[in-house]
Structures are given as C-alpha cells and as structure tokens.
Copies of this chain bind each other. A is one copy, B any other.
Amino acid sequence: MKSNERVSGATSGALSPDVFSPRCPSRVLFDHVTSRWALLILVALSNQTLRWGELSRLLQPVTDKMLAQALRTLEADRLVRREVYPEVPPRVDYSLTERGQELVALLRPVVDWAQTHAEEIIADAD
C-alpha cells in the first residue's frame, strides 16, 4: 500500500499531475512539443521565418517524413504557421504563431541550460 500512496501522492502533487494521464490533453500536448524534432523546429523558428529546405538543412539528419510529420503536428496545434506563396516553384514559409512564441520563451532557459552543461554532462556519461 505504501508504494501506491506514493504514486497517488505524485498524481495529486503540485507539479503538473495531468501529464501522467495518457488520455489527458496535457499529456497529448506534452508528447507533441517534446518530440525531438518539434522542439528543434520551435527553437529554429524562434526569431525567424524559414522555408522547408532551410529547416531540413538545419535539423539534419531529419528525414523528410519526420520533418513533415512534426510540422503537421505543430501546425495543427497552432504553434507554427505555414504560408504558401503562389510562386513557381511554390514557396512555403514556416514561422511561429503567437502561441508558439509564448512556448519558445519558456523553452529558452531549458535550451540555454543544455548548452551550458552539455560538455560536462556528456563527458560524465562516457
């Protein structure tokens, strides 16, 4: 019983209980935005508009399939805006929505932390 209590303590705790419920919207959203490519796309677009090819080069070795999937999800969540210009060949621009910018502002300290500690942490792990 003791271990069950601890788990139920966790799910009713102060910190984001719902991300632990598989069918809860916040878990679904959490899964969307914490996918490796989604996060890198959000960071890449944080202060600029990019085209498909630019994103693809920046996120190498992402595959077209993974990139397309991540962008579709971010677009459906209205974190990323996709604009198609009637040019030949067609030009497609990706940028952050206001909601996307809000999220990226929160992600920035996490990314900065990863940058600062990366070498030390990866060296530890070797």
**Which residue numbers of A lie inside 8 Å of B, CB to CB?**
3, 6-7, 9-11, 13-16, 18-20, 22, 24-31, 33-36, 39-40, 43-44, 46-48, 50-51, 53-54, 57-61, 73, 76-79, 99, 102-103, 106-115, 117-119, 121-125
Contacts and interface: CB of A to CB of B under 8 A. Distances in A.
B77 A124 contact: yes
Nearest to A5: B54
A121 B25 contact: yes
Contacts of A99: 117, 121
Given A20-B59, A50-B10, A39 B30 contact: yes
A13 B43 CA distance: 11
